[in-house]
C-alpha cells in the first residue's frame, strides 16, 4: 500500500503556505518545501519563504539546505525530500508537499531516476563545435538529435550517454512509465480571474520591497552570489547600473507574472491535474473556504 501524502500547489502568490499550515495543524502534518529557490539560505524575502510566525510551529523540511549561488539539482532534492517524507511517516505524521516548482513535485512523487553526469566529460564536450556535437548525438541517440536544438541540452544528452551507457531518451521514456510511489491528494490553488492573480503578484512584489528585498539582494551581491532567480537578478542588474531601481522592480513584477503564466501552462499538461482538486479564490486566499470545501469543517486560523 502506497504511503499517503498531500500536495498543495499552484502559481505564485495564491496562498499555498497559509493553507498548508492550517491543514498541517488540523491533521498532524509536517511541510516539505517544493519551491526550487526556497532551498537556498539567505534568499528569504525574494522567495517569500515563510518566517517563524507564518509557520505557526509546524515543522518545515527542505528550506535553507543549500548555499545561495550553489547548484542544487532536482536529483538532490528528490533524495532529500524522499528521506524527509520517510521520517515524517515514521513518526505517524502526514507529509504535506507545498510549492510551485512542478518538476520537483512530479519527480518526487515518482521518485524519478536521474542520469549520472561528469564535469570532466561535460567540459570535453563543450569544447566541440556544434556541428560535431549534433553529428555524435545523431549517431547514438537520433530521437534526441531530432528534437534538440539548444547546444546546452545537446551536450547534456551526449554526457548522459557517455557516462551511463543509456540515452537520455531511454531515461525519459522510463520516467513516463514510472508509477507514483505515494498516494497523493493534490490541491491546486488559483484565482478565478487572471487579473486578480496578477494583482496579487504585484502586491507581493511591493511587499517584498517594503520588507527589505533591496538589502537582501545587496548582501548576496556583496558576497559574490550570482543567481538568475526572479527578484535578485533584476536587482543585481540595478547594482551594475543596467537599470534604475524602479525599472528593476517593474521587471520583477513582469517576470513574476510571466512565471505564474508558465506555472499554469505546466499544470494544465501535468499528470497532477488529472486527479487534483482545484480551489479558485474569488478575491483573495481563504483558508476557511479551503477547509470547508475540502473537509467540510471550520478551523482556527
SS3 content of the chain, % helix, strand, coil (to 5): 55, 10, 35
CATH number of the domain encompassing residue 135: 1.10.20.140
Q: State the pTM of this model.
A: 0.88
What's the domain range around 157? 119-177
Would you say residue 141 has pLDDT above 80? yes
Q: In this structure, are 60 and 205 located in the same domain? A: yes
Instruction: Compute φ and ψ for 30, nearest 5 degrees.
Output: -130, 145
Q: In this structure, are 90 and 134 located in the same domain? A: no
239-262 pLDDT per residue, tens: 999 999 999 999 999 999 999 999
User: Which pLDDT band, with edges at 50, 70 and 90, does 1 fall under?
Assistant: confident
DSSP state of 119: H
Q: In this structure, are 36 and 52 located in the same domain? A: yes
DSSP state of 193: S
Cα separation of 98 and 120, whole Å? 36
77 close to 108: Cβ distance less than 8 angstroms: yes
Is 12 part of any domain?
Answer: yes
Amino acid at each position: 500500500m502506497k504511503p499517503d501524502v498531500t500536495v498543495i500547489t499552484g502559481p505564485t502568490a495564491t496562498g499555498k503556505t497559509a493553507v498548508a499550515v492550517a491543514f498541517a495543524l488540523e491533521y498532524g502534518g509536517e511541510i516539505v518545501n517544493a519551491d526550487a529557490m526556497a532551498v537556498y539560505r539567505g534568499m528569504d524575502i525574494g522567495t517569500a519563504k515563510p518566517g517563524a510566525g507564518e509557520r505557526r510551529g509546524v515543522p518545515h523540511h527542505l528550506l535553507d539546505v543549500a548555499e545561495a549561488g550553489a547548484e542544487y539539482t532536482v536529483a538532490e532534492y528528490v533524495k532529500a525530500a524522499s528521506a524527509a517524507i520517510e521520517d515524517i511517516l515514521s513518526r505517524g505524521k502526514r507529509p504535506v508537499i507545498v510549492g510551485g516548482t512542478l518538476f520537483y513535485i512530479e519527480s518526487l512523487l515518482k521518485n524519478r531516476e536521474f542520469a549520472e553526469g561528469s564535469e570532466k566529460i561535460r567540459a570535453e564536450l563543450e569544447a566541440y563545435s556544434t556541428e560535431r556535437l549534433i553529428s555524435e548525438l545523431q549517431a547514438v541517440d537520433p530521437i534526441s538529435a531530432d528534437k534538440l536544438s539548444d547546444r546546452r541540452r545537446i551536450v547534456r544528452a551526449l554526457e548522459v550517454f557517455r557516462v551511463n551507457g543509456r540515452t537520455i531518451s531511454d531515461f525519459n521514456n522510463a520516467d513516463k512509465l514510472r508509477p507514483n510511489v505515494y498516494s497523493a491528494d493534490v490541491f491546486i490553488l488559483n484565482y478565478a480571474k487572471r487579473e486578480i492573480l496578477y494583482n496579487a503578484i504585484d502586491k507581493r512584489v511591493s511587499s517584498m520591497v517594503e520588507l527589505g528585498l533591496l538589502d537582501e539582494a545587496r548582501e548576496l551581491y556583496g558576497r559574490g552570489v550570482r543567481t538568475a532567480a526572479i527578484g535578485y537578478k533584476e536587482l543585481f542588474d540595478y547594482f551594475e547600473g543596467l537599470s534604475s531601481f524602479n525599472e528593476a522592480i517593474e521587471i520583477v513584477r513582469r517576470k513574476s507574472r510571466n512565471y505564474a503564466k508558465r506555472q499554469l501552462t505546466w499544470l494544465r499538461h501535468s499528470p497532477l491535474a488529472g486527479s487534483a482538486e482545484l480551489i479558485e479564490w474569488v478575491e483573495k486566499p481563504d483558508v476557511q473556504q479551503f477547509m470547508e470545501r475540502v473537509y467540510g469543517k471550520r478551523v482556527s486560523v
